[in-house]
Each structure stands twice: as structure tokens, then as C-alpha cells.
Amino acid sequence: MLRIGVFSDTHVGRNIPRIVGDARRHAFREAFKQAIDIFIDNQVDYVIHGGDLFEKRSMTPEDVVFVKDEFYRLTRVSREKHGKNVKILIVRGNHDGTPSSCVLEYITHPLADYLQIVGESIKEELRYYEDDSILAVGLGYHPFIKKKIEDQLNNLAGIVESHGDGKFKILLLHNYVEEIHDIPPHTPDHSVAGLDDLQKINVDMVVLGHYHERSELRKVGNLLFLIPGATEAVDLAEKGPFGVSILDIGCEKEVEEKFIELTPSQYISFKKVTSEEPKPFQWFRQRVLEEVSIFIDELRVKNIPGILKIRVSGVVIDADPFMRILAEEEIGRIKEKNPSILYLEVDENMTPIIRGRPMEGASMSREDIFKDLLEELGQEPGLVELIEEASIALEEKASEKTGLLKDSDRAVFIDKWLKILMSKTEKR
């Protein structure tokens, strides 16, 4: 029997929200340490990481040293306590960089033969791992994963056919897959892997990073799919549970999964306050204060620090459009009185009504702006690709302080946007 520990999307180094950046960085490290402890205690033979090991934009040299030390601790203690020579297999996620600029390379070393990156190398050659028991192939994150898999299909299938006889065969990906994931709105088709193509690679199991909500092991067609999820809330709206999976592989390649939830070092709560009917401003404010009070009581019970985000939406009657439900000064007083609250945010997206009429020029959410942009320009060639390119550039090159690109990097995208807009204008 083989035992494999699986986790993903650890985002070591993430420090969002920045105002409590050190505390959040600590939470992601603590989750990582817990995962390593679980793998040691469960005497795994292999550990698989589904990508986004790091948060490249905000990681530090200390984060790299931390991960290297934890992986070494895993292998050393497993060998000393259980006689296990654990192998660690990782695929590149979008937050780990690109094939030509991948932070996973920071944790590799010729003497660290227990660790193997699976997927494309800097030269875009396919790297895979094999021994007498398993074969692991994969592809790192790619914004055009559908075409990438189509282009690499013969290579991946060829590796499996020539090296996989009698072994448990695993495919590692860090992208969405059609019919497997609950794919977020506005996700372009080209960034979603085709299920039919994956079936042709002829592996036994697919491990999928990128999606932060875990999903139990399930079989679709001839493939087992496992979505490990994240080990900590990457976005404050993510609910969990967060943890790791322990897989037992039998002699007939039967697989049993055990999910082990991690104990969070911070309690994160995301609440919504909304109404289908127009309500007075004080109604929204009272609901928000009630949520804050409930959260404070929860922190007392859990006895750990916490983060609360409240999203407020709906139509508000006769309100000053510049009035905030909770001003910064009031939030400060609440936190001062309740030191266990690390961070409190009220995200307001309300539409004011002045004397019975919706206020003109009411603010639009980011999602509404994005939707309108796609509706207006969505058929223009190259638009979706440009959005993907800009997203990658922001991940790779944006300033940690401002979140913006340098003028020279931004100029490339401005030129492309102008060409698309000019093309749209000329067609009218």
C-alpha cells in the first residue's frame, strides 16, 4: 500500500490585508507547519503539492528559508521516526510565477533529491517523476491551458505509456477543468482545461490546484479527481474547511481518502447584509452592528484573534450618499475595545434613493464594471487574451506598495487597449 499526502494553495508569504500583513503571513506559515506535522504523523510515502506554494508578489527570503526548512523537516523526521524516504512533488501555480521566472526554483538544490518540480522547465521541457511505484506528470498554470494541453497531449500521453506500466499514474494541474470545477463567472474558455483531453492521457488520478474550496475524491469517466483546496483563507470570503488529504492506494489501485482539517490560528468571518426591499440607512447600520457583536462573542468562545469582513448591498432610503455605515474612527474604537479583532472591514455597495428616485451616478461595483466592459467589447479579437496578459503582468511585476505596473510595463498594455478601442470605433 502507498500513502500520499496532498495539499495545495498554501500561498506562503501572503500578507493581505496589508494593514494586518504580518499576522496574515504568520497564519499561512502556521497552516503550512500543521500540514507538515500531519504528513509526518500519518507516515506518508509521498507528498504532492498542487501549486501556489508561495505568494510571489509579497514573499520574502525568510519565506523561502521557512519552506525549505519545513520540507527538510518532513523528510528528516519521517526517515528518523518511520524509516520513510518521503518524496515531495510540486507543480507550478500562477502565484509561483511563469516557467521562465518560477520561485519554486528557489527551494530546489542538487542535494535535495527528495523534491521534484513536475511540469515545464525553464526550457519548457516536460519534467516528470517516476520510481517503482508511481509516475507523476503535469503542467503548471497557463492562461491558455486548453490549447497548452492540446499541444502537449501526445507528449504527456507518451510519457505515461512508456513509463507508467504497473505504476499508479498521477497528473498534476493548476487550472480549472470543465465539468469538474464550479468555474467563476467571466472565466474565458481558453483558460479551462478540456475534460476529454485529460481522459486521453490515461492516468489514474488528477490532482487539481488553483481552486481554494476542497472537493472530495470523485470519479468522472476513467479518472479520479481530487481538489485539495487551500490550507488557509486566501480571500476573506472563503469559508473552508481548509486542510490536507491522506490517500491510501491499494494493490489494485483502489484509493481511499481521509481529509484532515487544519486548526486555524485566526478566525475569519465573511458576512452579507442585504435587503430585497429599500430600507433606511439605520436599518443597514443596525444589521452591521449586530454582525459585529456576534463576531465578538464568537472570538471569546474560540479564544483566537479574528478578521471580519461585512459586505453591505441594497437600496437605501434618504441617506447621505457620503455617509459611511462605520467610519474609520468608529472601527478604531471597536478594535480598541476588542483587541482580539485584528481587522474589520465594511464593504458598502448600496444604491441611495433621494426623494423616491434612485440617485444618478450611484457607484458601480468592480464586477459590474467588468461585466459592462465585456458586454461592450467582448467580441473584439484579443480582448480576453489582453486581460489575461495584464493579470499575469500584475502578478509578476506590480509594485508591492502600490499594486501598479511601472510606466514601461504599463505602456505595452495601453498601446494594445488603444488598438482594440480604435478597432471598435472604426466598425461603428
The predicted-structure confidence for 295-330, as pLDDT tens digits, reads as follows: 999 999 999 999 999 999 999 987 776 788 999 999
pLDDT at 410: 82
Alpha carbons 40 and 224: distance in angstroms, whole number: 25
Specify the pTM.
0.84
∠39-210-1 over CA atoms, to 5°? 35
Share of the chain above pLDDT 90, in %: 73
Residue keyed to cell 518511520: 82
Closest by Cα among 359, 371, 331, 332 to 347: 331
Alpha carbons 389 and 240: distance in angstroms, whole number: 30
Q: Please state, as a whole number, how many other Cβ atoms lie within 10 Å of the Cβ of residue 271.
A: 18
Range scoring the smallest mean pLDDT among 48-57, 272-281, 284-293, 312-321: 312-321
pLDDT at 122: 83
Range scoring the smallest mean pLDDT among 26-40, 120-134, 244-258: 120-134
pLDDT at 140: 97
pLDDT in tens, 161-204: 999 999 999 999 999 999 999 998 888 899 999 999 999 999 99
Range scoring the smallest mean pLDDT among 62-66, 76-80, 259-263, 379-383: 379-383
Please name the residues in contact with 163: beta carbons below 8 A apart, sequence gap of 6 or more. Answer: 128, 130, 135
Give me the half-sphere count of Cα atoms (radius 13 Å) on the Cβ side of residue 32: 26
pLDDT at 397: 64
pLDDT at 31: 99
Residue 367 has pLDDT above 50, yes or no: no
Residue 428 or 221, more confident: 221
Structure confidence at residue 366 as a pLDDT band (50, 70, 90): very low
Structure confidence at residue 392 as a pLDDT band (50, 70, 90): low
Residue 337 has pLDDT above 90, yes or no: yes
pLDDT at 318: 74
Alpha carbons 276 and 278: distance in angstroms, whole number: 7
Q: What is the mean pLDDT of the chain?
A: 90
**All domains in the chain, ordered by first residue:** 2-261 (3.60.21.10), 267-358 (no CATH), 366-427 (no CATH)
- Contact between residue 10 and residue 230 where contact means Cβ atoms under 8 Å apart: yes
pLDDT at 295: 98
Per the structure block, which three cell numbers stand in for 121?
Answer: 522547465
- Contact between residue 11 and residue 230 where contact means Cβ atoms under 8 Å apart: yes
Structure confidence at residue 373 as a pLDDT band (50, 70, 90): low
Residue keyed to cell 490536507: 244
- Contact between residue 13 and residue 55 where contact means Cβ atoms under 8 Å apart: yes
pLDDT in tens, 79-115: 999 999 999 999 999 999 988 889 999 999 988 999 9
Residue 404 has pLDDT above 90, yes or no: no
pLDDT at 362: 47
Closest by Cα among 198, 192, 94 to 156: 198
Q: Please state, as a whole number, how many other Cβ atoms lie within 10 Å of the Cβ of residue 348.
A: 17
Helix, strand, coil distribution of the chain in percent, nearest 5: 40, 25, 35
pLDDT at 276: 87
